[in-house]
Homo-oligomer: A and B are copies of this chain.
Amino acid sequence: MADFERRIPEGDNRERLVCATCGFIAYENPRIVVGSVVVHEGAVLMCRRAIDPRRGYWTLPAGYLEQGETPEEGAAREAMEEAQAGIAIDGILAVFSIARIGQVQVIFRARFADPARPHFAAGPESQEVGLYAWHEIPWDDIAFPSVRWALDAWRQSGTGPLGAPFGNPAQDRRGVLRMPQAPSGAL
């Protein structure tokens, strides 16, 4: 059985998970989540989660970047897996830090690959998928604070060219708060 202990490997300066028997070092680096705000005629593509955590709550198509993918490719794969949507990426809308759980999120703004025939449907990880105008967004049932941050960034960015990416909101600069925030829709 793998027999991991926490110690500082030679030449390093912080504790790592090291197998006491074979010396295998399981580096635990932050992970990259890639996702997208897919916009069509002023509405945004959202997915109701069919899996834990936050099953039944609403999110954007997003997930962990996999080896060998660019962030853009990862975001497109997630849109296909979770919403069966082919997308075309505009650019980076936001970069969020969720230091509490070791995540960096790169959120793109995107369109449907064929805007004349937008296609979407629930993938295996979604109960339901839909396009929502700002005031139709199910604000009371958002899965994660960063979903709201991304939606706020989309609203502030407008429809023109993308500028500097949005970052964490002022009330949680490092991404360490656990508490859900007041719904943006209620502001």
Q: Which residues of A come within 8 Å of B, CB atoms? A: 1-4, 14, 19, 21-22, 24, 26-32, 64-73, 91-92, 95, 97, 99, 102, 104, 106, 161-165, 168, 173-175
Contacts and interface: CB of A to CB of B under 8 A. Distances in A.
A53 to B, nearest CB: 14
Contacts of A29: 29, 31-32, 64-67
Nearest to A4: B24
Given A29-B67, A69-B99, 16 more contacts: A2-B21, A2-B22, A14-B66, A28-B67, A29-B64, A30-B32, A70-B99, A70-B175, A71-B95, A71-B104, A92-B164, A92-B165, A95-B95, A104-B104, A162-B164, A164-B165
Q: State the number of copies, please.
A: 2
User: Chain A contact residues: over half helix, strand or loop, or mixed?
Assistant: loop
A30 B69 contact: yes
Contacts of A168: 70
B67 A102 contact: yes
Contacts of A162: 164
A62 to B, nearest CB: 14
B24 A2 contact: yes
Contact of A71 (B21, B31, B97): B97
A106 to B, nearest CB: 7
A22 B67 CA distance: 24
Nearest to A26: B26
A167 B73 CA distance: 14
